[in-house]
Amino acid sequence: MIRPHRRHPLWFAYLLHRVSGSALALFLPIHFWMLSLALNDREALDDFLAWSDRGLVKAAEFGLVFLLAVHLFGGLRLLALEWLPWSGPQKTLAAAAVGLSLLVSGIFFLQAV
Amino acid sequence: MSTGGVMTVAVWRGGPEGSAFQEFRVPGQKSQTVLDVVIWIQQYRDPTLSYRFACRVGMCGSCAMTVNGVPRWTCRTHVKRVAKTGRIEIAPLRSLPVIKDLAVDMDPFFEKWVAAEGRFHPQRTRDQPVRETKPQTRRRRQADAAIECINCAVCYAACDTVAASPDYLGPAALNRAWSLLNDDKDSGTEAILAAAGAKGGCHSCHAMGSCTRFCPNELDPMASIAGLKRASIAAALKRKG
C-alpha cells in the first residue's frame, strides 16, 4: 500500500522513472545479446523472431516501448527542472510525459499487430 | 458551537522507549482545527498529553504533526478536511526524534539549517547604511519566492530522501540557502555553494516533490533545490575553467 504522503503526482512520476529505468537496465543487455545473434547465429535469431511474432509478446513489447518512452520524456522533464532557470508546471509536465509515452507506445502497438 | 457529532481521534502516545496510539472520543465543533482537537484532549481528557504550539494562526511553525499519515500545520488544518471517515490519526512528525507524544526534537532540523549555511552572512556593520534592495530584479524575486518559510518542518517530514539518508540537509535548509544565495545583502555565496554541493546537499534530492506538495505556505523547495543544483554545478565548472 502506498503511504498517504506519497499519494501525489510527482511522487508517482518519481516511482515510474525509477521502475522504468530499472526495467530498461534489465532489458537492454538481453536486447543487445539478441541483436548479436544476427552476426553469430542466424538460425537462433530467426527462431526468436518467429517466437516474438505472438500477440502476448507484442503486448509485452508495447510495455517495453512505454517504459522506454516514459523514461525518456520523464528524464527530459527532470533535466529541464534541474538545468533550466525555470521550474514550470511540473505536475502537468509529468502528466504530459505519461500521455506522450502512451501515444508513442500505442502507435507502436497498432503498427505491430 | 457544537455540531453534535463525535469523532474518534487516535493520538500517538509515548516516547523513544515505547509508544502506541491511544483513542479518544472528541465532540465536533464548528470551524474546528486539528490543533483544537489536540488542545481539547489535553484540557478535558488527559492533561499529560505533550505537544507544541504557539501562535495558532499559521505564523510560528511550531504545531506541525502527522495527520492521517500526512504532515500538516495543525492550527490551519480544519477537521472537516481530514476527518472524512469520522476518524483522525495524529502522530508526531516523521524523521525527527520523538521527545514525548506529539512533541519532536527539532534540533537535527535546525542543525541542518546551520550546516546548509542557512544563516545571514552580513556585508556591513550596524554603523553603515543599509544596502538598497531592488525588488524587481530576478535574483530578488527568487529570494522573495523562497523567503516565507516558517520553519515548521512539514517539508522535512514529507521527504522520503530525508527519511532514507540521515545526512541529507533537507528541503527547508536548502530552500533557505537558495533564498540567501539570491539575497544581494548576503555575503556568504561561497560558503552556501560549498555546503549545498557537499555530501548530503542539494545533489541528494530526487525531485519527488513532496516538499512542494505539502508546504503549508505554498513555497516550492523543489525548485529552490534545483536552483542550488544549477548554481553549484556552475560554480564547480567556473573553478575548473
Kindly report the CATH number assigned to the domain that includes residue B154.
Answer: 1.10.1060.10
Do residues B74 and B8 share a domain? yes
Do residues B115 and B143 share a domain? yes
* Residue B240 or B187, more confident: B187
B204 interface with A at CB cutoff 8 Å: no
User: Has residue B201 got a pLDDT over 50?
Assistant: yes
Q: Is the dihedral of CA A95, B148, B108, B232 positive or negative?
A: positive
Please give the share of chain B, as a percent, with pLDDT higher than 90.
Answer: 90
Selecting from B69, B208, B227 the residue whose C-beta is nearest the C-beta of A10 gives B208
Residue A3 to residue B69, Cβ atoms within 8 A: yes
Q: Which residues of B touch A78 (CB under 8 A)?
A: 207
What pLDDT digit, counting tens, does each position of B155-191 carry?
999 999 999 999 999 999 999 999 999 999 999 999 9
Half-sphere exposure in the Cβ direction for A57 (13 Å, CA): 7
Domain borders along chain A are: 10-112
Kindly report the CATH number assigned to the domain that includes residue B18.
Answer: 3.10.20.30
What pLDDT digit, counting tens, does each position of A26-58 carry?
999 999 999 999 999 989 999 998 998 888 998
Q: Is the dihedral of CA B94, B52, B109, B212 positive or negative?
A: positive
What pLDDT digit, counting tens, does each position of A69-110 carry?
999 999 999 999 999 887 779 999 999 999 999 999 999 888
Do residues B32 and B57 share a domain? yes
User: Which pLDDT does position B131 carry in this prediction?
Assistant: 87
Selecting from A5, A10, A13 the residue whose C-beta is nearest the C-beta of B69 gives A5
Size of interface A-B (CB pairs under 8 A): 54
Complex ipTM: 0.89
Of B56, B84, B104, the position where a domain reaches its end is: B104
A90 interface with B at CB cutoff 8 Å: yes
User: Has residue A65 got a pLDDT over 80?
Assistant: yes
Q: Which residues of A touch B210 (CB under 8 A)?
A: 5-6, 8, 10-11
User: Which pLDDT does position A44 carry in this prediction?
Assistant: 92
Domain count within chain B:
2
Measured CA to CA, the distance from residue B151 to residue B173 in angstroms comes to 9
Q: Search chain A and give the residue with CA nearest B66.
A: A5
Residue A5 to residue B214, Cβ atoms within 8 A: yes
Give B47's contacts (C-beta < 8 A, 6+ positions apart): none
Structural domain harbouring B162: 107-240
Measured CA to CA, the distance from residue B181 to residue B141 in angstroms comes to 12
User: Has residue B2 got a pLDDT over 70?
Assistant: no
Measured CA to CA, the distance from residue B120 to residue A68 in angstroms comes to 45
What pLDDT digit, counting tens, does each position of B58-106 carry?
999 999 999 999 999 999 999 999 988 889 999 999 999 999 999 999 9
Residue B130: pLDDT band (50, 70, 90) is: confident
Q: In what helix (H) or strand (E) does residue B180 lie, and over which residues does it extend?
A: helix B171-181
CATH number for the region A10-112 comes to 1.20.1300.10
